[in-house]
Chain A
Amino acid sequence: DSGVTQTPKHLITATGQRVTLRCSPRSGDLSVYWYQQSLDQGLQFLIQYYNGEERAKGNILERFSAQQFPDLHSELNLSSLELGDSALYFCASSVLTGVATEAFFGQGTRLTVV
């Protein structure tokens, strides 16, 4: 168990809908990262937060947004969902940012858009 908790584990929703994925980082970790994993693209970095502030953005669509709350948990909001958004979404956390610290991944949320 990595100590990173993601909910829900599975989500099935229809096109055009909006969903929220939740991540609780390991105790003491200030950085939270969101990744999307699909079969053909591998792990794609979406966005990083550090202590409540956005630190880096990757290939995140405008329909997607995220935030990190004062208690350090993070939410990833996906809206106007399309079939192509079906993927595994992972959250990872680490103590620091900017150094090669170990990032711990959660179990992921499997999103299926039908």
Chain B
Amino acid sequence: QKEVEQDPGPLSVPEGAIVSLNCTYSNSAFQYFMWYRQYSRKGPELLMYTYSSGNKEDGRFTAQVDKSSKYISLFIRDSQPSDSATYLCAMRQTGGYQKVTFGTGTKLQVIP
């Protein structure tokens, strides 16, 4: 079983829809949770990161972490065709350097 599980999709939604992307994980020591967006043939770019549990909002993006369920989510409101990309969740432990463990990514397509 992988440490981080993410549905690969693809997920197709109409423009304007609310998108929900999710990851589950098994390592209870993970404390930092990140979401990266990766356009085709590009490197991943960090969208958001949160520490421990709770919500964080940035514009149309909201990240949620539920450590009790080992479940994290990224919500995209008013989705746009430019949001079409692969979204990767990532997480790591705290203290010193710990490797970041990535999910395999969910491919999202927003249809105009």
Query: A35–B88 Cα gap in the complex (Å)?
Result: 14
Return B101 CB to nearest CB of chain A, in Å. Answer: 8
Q: Are A45 and B44 in contact (CB under 8 A)?
A: no
Query: A100–B44 Cα gap in the complex (Å)?
Result: 16
* CB nearest to A47 among chain B residues: B99
Which residues of A are found within 8 Å of B32, using beta-carbon distances?
100
Q: Are B104 and A42 in contact (CB under 8 A)?
A: yes
Q: Is B95 in the interface zone, CB < 8 Å from A?
A: yes
Q: Are B46 and A102 in contact (CB under 8 A)?
A: yes
Q: Is B43 in the interface zone, CB < 8 Å from A?
A: yes
Query: A44–B99 Cα gap in the complex (Å)?
Result: 10
Query: A80–B45 Cα gap in the complex (Å)?
Result: 31
Which residues of A are found within 8 Å of B36, using beta-carbon distances?
105
Q: Is B49 in the interface zone, CB < 8 Å from A?
A: yes
Can you list the 6 inter-chain pairs with the closest CB atoms, starting with the nearest? A105-B43, A42-B104, A43-B102, A45-B99, A100-B32, A97-B97
Give the A-binding residues of B (Cβ under 8 A): 32, 34, 36, 41-46, 49, 51, 88, 90, 92, 95-105
Can you add 16 more A-B contacts, CB < 8 Å, to A35-B102, A56-B98, A100-B92? A4-B43, A40-B104, A42-B88, A42-B102, A43-B44, A43-B90, A45-B99, A45-B101, A55-B97, A98-B95, A98-B97, A100-B51, A102-B49, A105-B36, A105-B45, A107-B43
